Structure 1
């Protein structure tokens, strides 16, 4: 059995990185008993599981609204702070559109996008 790792995130939402109970239930029931799930400091879950079942599992995760990305140093989705009130700022939905257009690509360092001086 070859183990491969991928990242899972609920995406850019009001209130931060919020997983819904049904998303976690599907994640836990589809990856299998031998999989490992790790919470990263970048507000995403890394799933390490049998490579043969990955495409099937990823499709089920997407069906419940989760985003699936490669693991490691690649651009993924935006992370917002929850204490600065970014959700109350005019145009805060613009970053949500940006995360959909941002290409997934290999990168050497973490990239930061500041909005209105909030960092």
Structure 2
């Protein structure tokens, strides 16, 4: 009996842009690596999960990249940035900042899956207040929230950590928070529980030091 080749699960999306969308070219290249009976899993975090042959992972990643698809690891890593639909345009909604922030943190290994979210205005379509790390663009600055949770009886809105950050301040602060969590979080400890144990004030003091 022929042994079935081992597969690896990849998380893919169309990159950080105006909402969560795929074009015809991207759909076509994804379909190339699906056989009868295969399924795509659509997650709540604007990603698709696809299982691909382990021996072809790097080749497939390159093909996806050529089509404009972004690939991320599945498991205990920082998820790609969840975004809103950016209804008012690239510069006004802070699209370049969202893209850069995603580039800096997505795919980093952490104790448990970490979900960051971004929204370009106070309406909050990207749901930044109920995710692990949330960014909300207010005027020309960026407000940063941490410790939100959307699940179960412990659901809560994140704590406002800093207000009116510049893009560089935002990048540095979020990267520092992810690194603190990676270093001090316990295995499979969610970011929400980590903050409760570590202390929000302790975390804030380290982030501003």
Q: Are the equivalent residues in 2 in contact too, given 1:36–1:49 (CA < 8 A)? A: no
CA shift for structure 1 position 36: 3.6
Show the counterpart of 2:100: 97
Q: Deviations over 1:59-96 (max 9, x none)?
A: 100001111110123113211123x8474773512122
What is the CA–CA distance in structure 2 between the aligned matches of 1:85 and 1:33, rounded to whole Å? 37
Select the residue among 20, 24, 39 that pairs with 1:17: 20
For the pair shown, the structure with the greater C-alpha radius of gyration is 2
TM-score norm. by structure 1 comes to: 0.80
Q: Is the 8 A contact 1:86 1:92 kept in 2?
A: no
RCO (CA 8 Å, sep 6+): is it higher in 1 or 2? Answer: 1
Gaps of 5+ in 1: none
Q: CA distance change for structure 1 residues 51 and 88 in 2, over 3 Å: closer, same or farther?
A: closer
TM-score (norm 2): 0.48
Larger helix proportion, structure 1 or 2?
A: 2
Correspondence for 2:135: 114
Q: Distance in 2 between matches of 1:49 and 1:57?
A: 8
Query: What 5-or-longer segments of structure 2 have no aligned partner?
Result: 116-131, 146-209
How far did residue 49 of structure 1 move? 2.2
1:89-112: CA deviation from partner (whole Å, max 9, x where unpaired): 735121222112225212324332
- C-alpha contact (below 8 Å) 1:11/1:78 kept by paired residues: no
Residue aligning to 2:8? 4
- Match status 1:77 vs 2:41: no
